[in-house]
Amino acid sequence: MTLLLKQLFALIKLLNSDTGTNQIAAGFSCGLILGFAPMLSLQALLVFICIFLFRIQIGAALVSAFFFAFIAWLFDPVSDVVGSAILETEALRPMFTAMYNMPFVPLTRFYNSIAMGAGVVSVALAPLVFFGSKRLVLAYRAKVVERFKRNLWWKMWTGTELFKWYANYEKFRG
């Protein structure tokens, strides 16, 4: 829980800084795939490993995974239709048959209509979410954070001794 909270605070800090935009956007994209994938599946494990191994903002990934899991649940009927249409495509049948009998691949549960539909939708939307969230983060920083910085109360607060003391503390603490 502490780790999770720490990651969430890190996400808030990062949102309010000038850096880490790509990491946050990648976190949202990974969260989308994670939220749309079945909980116990190979692709969920791979995304988790990626989140831990690469500099992807874990807080963003986890928060968006929760959010997108709810969206995915709402869209289960749509995913079922999309997945069924893909799995019933005659031209893809030899490929699916090969995949079904390969090691590891069936652990993705690609043969389930909802897993397939949600998986395809999430992979298709991942780049859009990446670039979209990147633009949103930049817009947030330019409009919300900058306006906050110009706020009189914030200026008064940054002028206080307490703030200066805390700034020094943060600086020395690294």
Contacts with another protein by CB under 8 A lie at 3, 9-11, 13-20, 23, 52-55, 57, 76, 79-80, 83-84, 87-88, 93, 96-97, 99-107, 109, 111-115, 117, 145, 149, 158, 163, 166-167, 170-171, 174
Pick between residue 86 and residue 125 the one whose CB is nearest to another protein: 86
Pick between residue 35 and residue 117 the one whose CB is nearest to another protein: 117
For residues 96 and 87, the answer to whether their CB atoms sit within 8 Å is yes
What does the chain come to in residues?
174
**What is the four-CA torsion angle of 49, 51, 53, 56, rounded to 10 degrees?**
170
- Shortest Cβ distance from residue 101 to another protein (Å)? 5
For residues 49 and 82, the answer to whether their CB atoms sit within 8 Å is no
Place of tokens 């200026």: 155
Place of tokens 């009927």: 77
Distances (CA, A) of 173 to 13, 161, 167, 168: 16, 18, 10, 8
Pick between residue 52 and residue 70 the one whose CB is nearest to another protein: 52
- Shortest Cβ distance from residue 23 to another protein (Å)? 6
- Shortest Cβ distance from residue 39 to another protein (Å)? 11
Distance of CA 47 to the CA centre of its chain: 10
- Shortest Cβ distance from residue 96 to another protein (Å)? 5
Pick between residue 135 and residue 155 the one whose CB is nearest to another protein: 155
Task: Give the residue from 172, 159, 126, 148 showing the smallest Cα distance to 15.
Answer: 148
**How far apart (Å, rounded) are the C-alpha atoms in residues 117 and 107?**
16
- Shortest Cβ distance from residue 128 to another protein (Å)? 22
